[in-house]
Structure 1
Amino acid sequence: MNAIRLARTVTKCYSMRSYSMAPCEILELLEAGYQRLAESDSQSLLKKHLTKSIFDKLKTKVTPSYCSTLLDCIQSGLCNHDSAVGIYAPDPEAYKTFADIFDPIISDIHKGFGKANKHPASCYGYGADFPNLDPEQKYVVSTRVRCARSIQDFPFNPCLSEEDYRNLECMISKVLLTFCHEHSGKYLPLKGMDKEVQKKLIDNHYLFKEGDRFLQAANASRFWPTGRGIFMNRDRTFMVWVNEEDHIRVISMERGGDLGRAYERMIIGLESLAFSLKFSCDKRLGNLTFCPSNLGNTIRASVHIRLPHIGKDKAKLEELAGKHNLQVRGTSGEHSEAKDGVYDISNKRRMGLTEYQTIGEMHKGISALIEAECRESSKK
């Protein structure tokens, strides 16, 4: 069954979500999809960890409040055998109901964060503790810090109704429009947005876009563009995405290498939202998100940085970055090339450490890369 037909079938079942176990139609789809995955050459974490015994144990289960099934969790991975992970949480309860498959995948993604581990309470600290990485702007082109949040008492994308999307957008945008000083700005709903304005925002890497096949297969693009939008401050250094992959994505950007300033701006925006909105959290996993890769403190800090000398040996660059728990990508992200020696470097760890510790680790790692680049350039 292709992704479109599968999504339509699952969507049809949403209208009767009052069952205590997965209905026969869902079980048939699960059995067929699991068989194809088992016979495939997929390298996904889903295939690695979804043994037949775990599959049989989970296939009839549903989450208590939202009646989400195992199919809601794994349908993207069943449709896309080239997925790296292959699983999403359709609602906050899925992480416990389907813990037998989520826990080992979380441990793989977050490098050893197992059942015995507990994510620490939030601790933001101060952005001022992190001096500018590159005051002369010789190396760092730009800096970006983002985090994700989900609103309590709402499921995630696959289980949201059209009314849910509207209600979430209304709740979130109402709070955003109270922001003042550096954070004040405008909310632009995606529905009714001028196509040229939309294209320009996407081309400038401010706005998300529809069409991700992994999210579509996970039923995360329903009722598009209802309930989606972007909030931007006047300087376009602070943004909030509404109902893209998660309910909220808070983004702070800065030209050059002032990681501390970008982080501080994000903290203020996030805490302003938290004053009026309650977020979904778990005592062990931290902040709950649609994709298990974003659990914990949800922080992704990244820099675009010029590394023309140490970047010539990609293996050594990867090795050095790995020592500091950093991920190396091309200029335009994963699977892209580094244009003019500019790489996208981001933190790997976001579970088991606080927000402050994540930014501290990132700051130390980028400093090490700059020092290594300086040493190599002085040899030439």
Structure 2
Amino acid sequence: MSSLDELWEKLCAAEDSKSLLKKHCTEDVYNKLKDKQTKFGGTLAECIRSGAENPESGVGVYASDPEAYTVFADLLNPVIMDYHKVKQLKHPACNFGKVDKLDFGDLDPSGELIVSTRVRVGRSHASYGFPPTLTKEQRIEMEKVTREALEQLTGELKGTYHSLDGMSPETQKQLMEDHFLFNDSDRFLKAAGGYNDWPTGRGIFFNDNKTFLVWVNEEDHIRIISMQQGGDLAAVYKRLVEGIKELEKKLDFARLPTLGYLTFCPSNLGTALRASVHVKIPKVAAMPDFKEICDKYHIQARGIHGEHTESVGGVYDISNKRRLGLTEIEAIQEMRQGVQELIRLEKGEEKAPSPKSKGCVIL
């Protein structure tokens, strides 16, 4: 494994790199941070390893642990502000809105366009480091603590935990068919130490209806996911919020007032929330201003198999782009409004007139 000095030399030699690491890890920043260490044992090497080893990275920076966001702020803060396009690091208190009085329901009642809906959040245990600073024993301990919390869920959320280590071929096959099983194939994450001790300490929890899913130690400590077929965003969101609140009773999640919920990759900070639909929009996607439409509503279009993949049959994964500097309910509303606009354009419908009022309040 390359030393910090070797990683720095590789980064300096990568003259064509367009990564945020290359842009913001100046010699002054490097010299200021190279001898620092977090209480979890994290160093600058863990933060820059992936980007130095992969100069074609987009971001190139990972946090070694929750405290890295403070200790290595001279590097991480500029990267965060650049990626999230914010002029200051300020994040509001968590606000899921009034989930029993949402002003939206099913975004596609006819079932013509939306194939499925999914909302997920990332969460990190406050008392554990991120993948590169975790020992094998700590990873096993964290899985145990998380599993115990998950197995106390009741009602619709009640389900079963499956550890990747020792998983039966039958269960593995079923989870692959359900598209639930995560793997260790991302080379950027691998270089960052994300797959250390694979598959030890990792697992998947899902409820009986397979509409509530939790990944343990995939990239972040926990990925909480609510999903179902069709376009009922309200039902998916309510289930997610219920699951988060139940887990918060048992687990302590890492958070900073300036950055919101802390995650392994700086790109997921803030609400750490990604709400998405798989929607059939072949006509809209063919429009020359498709990207501009998405940008206007702060949404992002991807192929159905994730970032850097192509659409299949005119189906796109549409999600909220912004995560930092707004509340959870505001992020959901941005995604909802963007998707509704794409559906309107796809169907060729006239835009509804704005209601005549003195003002409105987003709850």
The question of a shared fold, defined as TM-score above 0.5 by the shorter chain, is answered with: yes
* Aligned residue type for 1:121: A
The Cα shift of 1:39 comes to: 2.4
Secondary structure, counterpart of 1:309 in structure 2:
helix
Alignment of 1:307 with 2:307, yes or no, is no
1:210-249 matches, cutoff 5 A:
210-249=184-223
The Cα shift of 1:127 comes to: 4.0
CA deviation digits over 1:211-265, x for unaligned, max 9?
A: 3211211112111111100001011110001111111110010111111111111
2:125 alignment partner in structure 1: 151
Query: Please, which of 97, 108, 120 is the counterpart of residue 92 of structure 2?
Result: 120
1:345 alignment partner in structure 2: 318
Query: Please, which of 28, 46, 49 is the counterpart of residue 53 of structure 1?
Result: 28
2:360 alignment partner in structure 1: none
2: CA distance between counterparts of 1:163 and 1:34?
30
Number of residue pairs matched by the alignment? 347
* Structure 1: gaps (5+ residues): 7-28
* Structure 2: gaps (5+ residues): 351-363
1:321 alignment partner in structure 2: 294
Give yes or no for contact 2:41–2:133 (8 Å, CA) kept in 1: no
The Cα shift of 1:268 comes to: 0.5
The Cα shift of 1:109 comes to: 1.3
CA deviation digits over 1:285-318, x for unaligned, max 9?
A: 11111111111110001110000111113x4111
Give yes or no for contact 2:299–2:319 (8 Å, CA) kept in 1: yes
CA deviation digits over 1:124-172, x for unaligned, max 9?
A: 1244512211001111111100001111211111111111111111111
2: CA distance between counterparts of 1:257 and 1:280?
31
2: CA distance between counterparts of 1:312 and 1:139?
16
- Write 1 or 2 for the structure with the bigger share of helix: 1
2: CA distance between counterparts of 1:337 and 1:279?
35
2:150 alignment partner in structure 1: 176
2: CA distance between counterparts of 1:261 and 1:112?
31
* Aligned residue type for 2:281: L
Secondary structure, counterpart of 1:339 in structure 2:
coil
* Aligned residue type for 1:153: S
Q: What do you get for the CA RMSD once the two structures are aligned?
A: 1.5
* Aligned residue type for 2:72: F
Secondary structure, counterpart of 2:271 in structure 1:
coil
2: CA distance between counterparts of 1:56 and 1:334?
34
* Aligned residue type for 2:96: Y
Alignment of 1:252 with 2:226, yes or no, is yes
2:85 alignment partner in structure 1: 111
Give yes or no for contact 1:113–1:351 (8 Å, CA) kept in 2: no
Greater Cα shift, 89-98 or 128-137? 128-137
Give yes or no for contact 1:306–1:343 (8 Å, CA) kept in 2: yes
1:330 alignment partner in structure 2: 303
Query: Please, which of 295, 308, 312 is the counterpart of residue 269 of structure 2?
Result: 295
Secondary structure, counterpart of 1:112 in structure 2:
coil
Give yes or no for contact 2:7–2:45 (8 Å, CA) kept in 1: no
1: CA distance between counterparts of 2:303 and 2:186?
19
1: CA distance between counterparts of 2:41 and 2:166?
33
2: CA distance between counterparts of 1:261 and 1:46?
39
2: CA distance between counterparts of 1:105 and 1:199?
39
Secondary structure, counterpart of 2:116 in structure 1:
strand
1: CA distance between counterparts of 2:98 and 2:176?
31
The Cα shift of 1:203 comes to: 4.3
1: CA distance between counterparts of 2:189 and 2:173?
20
Give yes or no for contact 1:127–1:261 (8 Å, CA) kept in 2: no
The Cα shift of 1:376 comes to: 7.7
* Aligned residue type for 1:57: K
2: CA distance between counterparts of 1:177 and 1:154?
21
Give yes or no for contact 1:141–1:303 (8 Å, CA) kept in 2: yes
Give yes or no for contact 1:309–1:376 (8 Å, CA) kept in 2: no
Alignment of 1:142 with 2:125, yes or no, is no
CA deviation digits over 1:300-358, x for unaligned, max 9?
A: 01110000111113x41111011000011112222221111101111111111111111
Give the structure-2-normalised TM-score. Answer: 0.92
* Aligned residue type for 1:124: F
The Cα shift of 1:53 comes to: 1.3
2: CA distance between counterparts of 1:249 and 1:376?
37
Give yes or no for contact 1:139–1:305 (8 Å, CA) kept in 2: yes
2: CA distance between counterparts of 1:361 and 1:294?
17
Secondary structure, counterpart of 2:119 in structure 1:
strand
